[in-house]
A and B are shown apart, each in its own frame.
Chain A
């Protein structure tokens, strides 16, 4: 694993409509659940700094294809934002540009208490996320 510069932009690809609040169709909102790690205590993201929109979409479509799900959208955030919350970002290839958000509370002590900490961190993460809805959805 390698470090990721704090200035880098990351994308979490969203493969279910359940992770987006559609109550206001003109202004859908990404839900914190999209940033909760499970069953792994690492969150899969891609490094997208400097990529054109079409290149980001290609990565997202490939992630969806490999997981047999449609691409619904993506949440974009910076590595710096991740680190302000005590987490870290580590490159983890293959596939190219893949990374993990790590440092989550493990569900080992009092699992439900640890889970509530994960909930709070996911909530804080999503505060700094920009949602991009896939236009082909």
Chain B
């Protein structure tokens, strides 16, 4: 994975535009334009959130083509990136920043990890449905929520639960 966070506030070198033409090339270029705008907008956010957004952008750029994992994974779609970015921004600085990952179905994942059997993960794709799973000691949870413009109360409940447990 590239380390764009170290390059802030400069633009990442990976934002290059090809000379390919045709509808597909235009669609890809438009998607990267949106990523570029999101990157620029993120410059006004707090340091921790900005770092997570940089990590999210790195992950998208690393995995925007199919088979990025060598096991036939689906590409991360620009819509998934956009939804993940909105989710991350809506969290604000109220919680420890999650680490960013990507799942083989092309959904982006945020994980909060406190230690063995103390973790919570939320993933989001192009339709803005959140899939989550968590381990809180001997208890486990999993389920789905819909993300509109605010982090669903169910997700916040599980984050509360994770961070009030002793490590």
The answer to whether the Cβ of A97 comes within 8 Å of any Cβ in the partner chain is: no
Q: Could you say which of B73, B104, B133 contacts A116, with CB atoms under 8 Å apart?
A: B133
Q: Could you say which of A32, A39, A44 contacts B74, with CB atoms under 8 Å apart?
A: A39
The answer to whether the Cβ of B59 comes within 8 Å of any Cβ in the partner chain is: yes
Main secondary structure of the interface of B (DSSP, over half): strand
Tell me whether A29 and B105 are in contact in the complex, defined as CB-CB below 8 angstroms, given that A19-B69, A115-B131, A124-B135 are known contacts.
Answer: no
Chain B residue at smallest Cβ distance from A64: B70
The answer to whether the Cβ of A117 comes within 8 Å of any Cβ in the partner chain is: yes
The answer to whether the Cβ of A33 comes within 8 Å of any Cβ in the partner chain is: yes
Q: How far is the CA of A102 from the CA of B143 in the complex (A)?
A: 21
Q: Could you tell me if A18 and B63 are in contact, using CB atoms closer than 8 angstroms?
A: yes
Interface string of B133-145 (1 = CB under 8 A from A): 1110000111110
Q: Could you tell me if A113 and B70 are in contact, using CB atoms closer than 8 angstroms?
A: no
Interface string of A104-126 (1 = CB under 8 A from B): 00000010110111011001100
Chain A residue at smallest Cβ distance from B146: A112
Say how far B73's CB is from chain A's closest CB, in angstroms.
7
Q: Could you tell me if B1 and A17 are in contact, using CB atoms closer than 8 angstroms?
A: yes
Interface size grouping (class) on chain A: 20 to 34
Number of residue pairs spanning A and B whose beta carbons lie under 8 angstroms apart: 102
Chain A residue at smallest Cβ distance from B111: A31
Q: For A68, list chain B residues within 8 Å (CB).
A: 70
The answer to whether the Cβ of B23 comes within 8 Å of any Cβ in the partner chain is: no
Q: Could you tell me if A38 and B103 are in contact, using CB atoms closer than 8 angstroms?
A: yes
Q: For A131, list chain B residues within 8 Å (CB).
A: none
Q: For A15, list chain B residues within 8 Å (CB).
A: 69-71
Q: For A22, list chain B residues within 8 Å (CB).
A: 1
Q: Could you tell me if A16 and B68 are in contact, using CB atoms closer than 8 angstroms?
A: yes
Q: How far is the CA of A44 from the CA of B69 in the complex (A)?
A: 13
Tell me whether A119 and B70 are in contact in the complex, defined as CB-CB below 8 angstroms, given that A33-B102, A38-B103 are known contacts.
Answer: no
Q: For A82, list chain B residues within 8 Å (CB).
A: none
Tell me whether A127 and B135 are in contact in the complex, defined as CB-CB below 8 angstroms, given that A32-B111, A112-B144 are known contacts.
Answer: yes
In chain B, residues 11-64, which have Cβ atoms closer than 8 Å to a Cβ of chain A?
59, 62-63
Q: How far is the CA of A17 from the CA of B134 in the complex (A)?
A: 23
Q: For B73, list chain A residues within 8 Å (CB).
A: 38
Q: Could you tell me if A116 and B103 are in contact, using CB atoms closer than 8 angstroms?
A: no
The answer to whether the Cβ of B80 comes within 8 Å of any Cβ in the partner chain is: no
Q: For A119, list chain B residues within 8 Å (CB).
A: 103, 121, 123, 131-133, 142
Apart from A16-B62, A39-B105, what are 11 other A-B pairs with CB-CB below 8 Å?
A15-B70, A16-B63, A18-B63, A31-B111, A33-B102, A33-B104, A38-B72, A38-B103, A39-B72, A119-B133, A119-B142
B residues neighboring A (CB under 8 Å): 1, 59, 62-63, 67-74, 99, 101-105, 109, 111, 113, 116-117, 119, 121, 123, 129, 131-135, 140-144
